[in-house]
Chain A
C-alpha cells in the first residue's frame, strides 16, 4: 500500500495490510531486570550469556542440577547454596527461615543425598523487630531438626534502612550421595515415566494472595516442606531414579523443559493427570497465569524407568509428602528438548518455559 502517514496527508481510513509496519526497538540487554530472577528463560539466558562465560576458568561446566556433586577423598558430596528474598517474610504456611532450610535440603535431596550440614546467613535491614528474627530463626531450626539436618555455621550482617528489605537469607548445605545413586537432569530416557509428588502452584499462589496490591482471599498455604525423607523412600525401591528435580521458580514447565533439553528427549504430558488444586486454578485464571509456571516449594518431579514406576509411586503414597503423587506423562524420543500436552480438541501443544517475570521475590 502507499503509506498514508506522511505529513499533510489525510489520515488512512482503511487498513490495507500491505506495507504497514511497526518499529524495531532496542530491547534492554545491558542491565539486570527482575525477569532475570524468574527461573524461566531470562534466568537461563543470564546463566548462558553472562555467568557461565565469566565463570569458565573456575567452573567444571557440565549439566546444571539443583546441587553439585563433588568427590572428596572417595566420598561423593552433594553441595548447594541458595538465597531467599521472599516478600512478605512470613506468609500463609511458612516463613523465610523454614523456606530457606527446606529449599536447601531439597536441592541436596534432588541429587539423592541426605542433608548432613547446613549454613544459615542473614542480611538484616535495620529496624527489623528482634522478636521477628527470633521466631524466624527458631522456625529455621525446627525445619532442620525435623529433616534430620544440623545447622552448623552462619553469618549475620546488618545494613541500613532501604539497603535490604527486612531480611534476606542465604543457606548452603552438604550431604552424602549413596553409592549407586546418580540422578541427573541429563539422564531421562525415552520410555521413562514422569512422576509428580503432589498438587502444584500452592507456594506461588499463597505468596501472591498476600502480596501488597494483589491481596485476594484463598484458602491455601505454601507447600514448603523437606523432601529428603520422600526421596529416601523412593530410592529404597528404585536406586536408579534417572532424574529428580524440585520445580521451584519457573514452576513445573521450567523443570520439565530443562530436563528435556539436558537429556535431549521429548516429554508428553497427560493434562487431566496434572494435580492442580481448584484455588490455584481459580487464582491463575483471574491473574492470567499458567499454573505450570507457578512456583512450588515442597514438590518434586521424578523421571523413573517405566518398569519401576508403580513401585516408586506406592512408596511415595505411603508418606504424607507424596500422598498426592501421580504419573503425569512419559518421556519420548520424538521432539527432543520439547514438552507437549494434548489439548481438548486433540491437537498437541508445546508447554513452554516462563518468559520474563511472573511475580518477583516469590522465594
Chain B
C-alpha cells in the first residue's frame, strides 16, 4: 500500500500541497483528479523524491521509501521525455537495467512490452521516428518494464486518440488484475470513471473527496432524472422545472428516495416514454460539487 501522509509543500508564496493524505491499494486503480495547479504533479513527484515535502511523507507498506524500494516503482511524468536518438527497444531495455534488471532480463522485458503494445516491428526504430501515440506507448513501457509494485502515471491519457485511450485503459486494468497498485492523474473525468475503482479529488493541495467511485456516487443524497417522451425531453413537471446542463440535457435533481414508480406513471400520461434514467451523480458532477472555484 502506497500512503501519502499529510503532505505539505510550498514553492515561495504558492502553496502546492496543504495536508494531502490518501492511500493507493495493490490491485486497484486510483484516479487522481483536480483542476490545473491543484498539486497533482507535485504529489506524484514526492513519491520519487523529485520534490521533498516540507512536512509529511510518502510510505510504502507503512515504512519509509528508500532507494531499493524506489526501484520497484514505475513513473511516467507528465512532461513526456525520451532519448530521441535511441532506438525504442534499446531505450526500454536501458531503463530496465537502470531499475536493476540484468542485461538478458532487460532485453527480454523490453521485447515483451513492445509486443504488448503491438510495436514489436518498431524495436529498431529511433524514438524520433515514431508517431506521437507510439512514443507514448514506449514511454509507458519505460515506466512499467521492470514490473513495478506501484505505477505512478501523470496524465497517461493526454494526447491519445480514442483507440489509444482504449488500449491504455485495457493495459492498466490488466496490470491491476496482476496486483499492481496504480495511481494515475487526469482531468478527463468521463474517462476516469470507466477506468478507476477509487478516486481522489484534490483542490488547492488538499483532498476534497475520496473513496470508491461507485460508493461515492451512490452515497450522494441526490439523483438525476432524465426522461424522454415521444423522443423529446419531458419537461412537464415533477414539482419543478428541469435544469439544463452544458450538454443541453434536461435533468431533474431529486432526492435519492424519490418514488420512481410514480414518476414513470406520471410521464406515461403524457405519451410514450422513450427514455427513462434515474441515476446517481457521475464523476463530473461529484467533481463540480467538490471543487468550488
A binds B: no
Q: A residues bordering B, Cβ < 8 Å?
A: none
Q: B residues bordering A, Cβ < 8 Å?
A: none
